[in-house]
Amino acid sequence: MPFFQFKKIAIVVCSLSFFSSIQGGAMSQVPKANEDEALVVMSPLPDPLARADGSLITDAKDWPEQRARWMKLIAEHEYGFAPSEKADVRWELVEEGLMNENKTKRQQFVVHIKTQAASIDVDLAFFTPNRSGKPKGTFLGLNFQGNHTVDSAPELRIPKGWVGNDAKIGVTENRASEMGRGSQDRRWPIAEITERGYAVATAYYGDLDPDYDDGFKNGVHSLFPNHVASAEHRDRWGSIAGWAWGLSRLMDVLLQQPSVDADRVAVIGHSRLGKTSLWAGATDPRFSLVFVNNSGCGGAALERRNFGETVARINTSFPHWFCPKFKDYNQNEAAMPFDQHTIVACIAPRPVYIASATKDLWADPKGEYLGGWYASPVYKLLGYSGLPSETPPAADISVGDRIGYHNRTGAHDILSFDWQQFMNFADRHWKYLK
């Protein structure tokens, strides 16, 4: 069987992790979201093994050149190119202590990222098992509302800059407070992670780039004012590429910590930050494992399925997430020169794990699974296996080898069940690293 074969008002659109108010009539031009599998009509997918001339690569030695071609296309048409200039990255330890009945060591760093144009500061929280020897590995991911929300420890620092809320995007004042302390601990089960022998590091995503459309002038974009996306430069980085670039700068800091094994650092993300972890994993091969949770449109889900959130909807709701050129594919997904499975393929041969939730139809669980399935031929070419079948598994069953997948019962979130599968996956793959 061949591998490769949707008057002026203000409405509120649910986009994965929270609601966004959309002003004006743009969304009225977007067809109603489809959440009926029977109505999916998917145009043919590009074959990740097909060269530009249509011929197929059949030798693993040809994959690096093919991968480079895909990465250039994906950056140019979706996430945007990050600047090639380097930034100066420095860090200082500002607090450390014990928590979780002294079973977990906590360290807090302020990371200074500077160019000739500007500088930003990012708070990085780092949790390790309080025991002798290095952790089994380290998970690095961004959080949505501040480091103080991932655990109730009173020492965790509150963000000083922009913090929006779950009802409205574009609010420029800081809404973080003590009331939020520990409010996101279900998404960051620090005790479970460290008791399994793993370390986990996290930073607030708004420290890297505030999540509202200001014409790419704040956050990491301010560091490179000559590399701002514009009508003349429609292929320059959006916020997702900015957050991914920021994760790589945090990786720079982690690699300087004696408790971190450079061969065992994973990037992880949920929702829009799952899109981010996918792109960070593709662009930075230092991440030896990549975890992508409920990432949907612009993440692991195939765009051509037109199920749940679509390219037109996400570009209208969040015009700053992607490069301006991505808007060319609003209601025009078939014209894309790639689809999201090619991004998953670009992580090969490193392991990647994709996770969905049964009630999260907006993120298209089947499309997320197929994003991994259609990347599997690349892993096979490189001598590994990916997902076992074109048919997704039953709920709460983890499947796959170098590409892992599960569809957790429940809604759009990242919970203990997800983390347990991720750590099981890390147990398997990091165990055999040389």
User: Which positions are catalytic?
Assistant: 271, 412
Could you give the 3-state DSSP secondary structure of residue 266? Answer: strand
Contact between 198 and 142 under an 8 Å Cβ cutoff? The reply is no
- Other C-beta atoms closer than 10 Å to the C-beta of 175 total 14
Q: How far apart are the first and last CA of the chain?
A: 37
Distance CA 160, CA 163 (A): 8
Residue with tokens 């202590």: 97
C-alpha to C-alpha distance for 315 and 330, rounded to whole angstroms? 8
| Residues in contact with 209: Cβ distance below 8 Å, sequence separation at least 6, in sequence order | 218, 219, 220, 221, 239, 242, 243, 246
**How many angstroms separate the Cα of 69 from the Cα of each of 234, 301, 345, 354?**
19, 21, 12, 23
Per this entry, what is the length of the chain? 434
Element (H, E) at 89: strand 88-99
Q: How far apart are CA 188 and CA 149, in angstroms?
A: 9
For the beta carbon of residue 18, count every other beta carbon within 10 angstroms: 17
DSSP 149-164: GS---TTSPPPSS-B-
DSSP string, 96-155: EEEETTTTEEEEEEEEEEE-SS-EEEEEEEEEEESSSS--S-EEEEEESS-GGGS---TT
Token pair for residue 200?
Answer: 């986990």
Q: What is the DSSP string of 374-418?
A: TTHHHHHHTT----S-SSPPPTT--EESSEEEEEESSSS---HHH
Pairing of strands 88-99, 265-270: unpaired
- Give CA–CA dist 377/372, Å, rounded: 10
Taking Cα atoms as reference points, which of 255, 246, 241, 167 lies closest to residue 204? Answer: 246
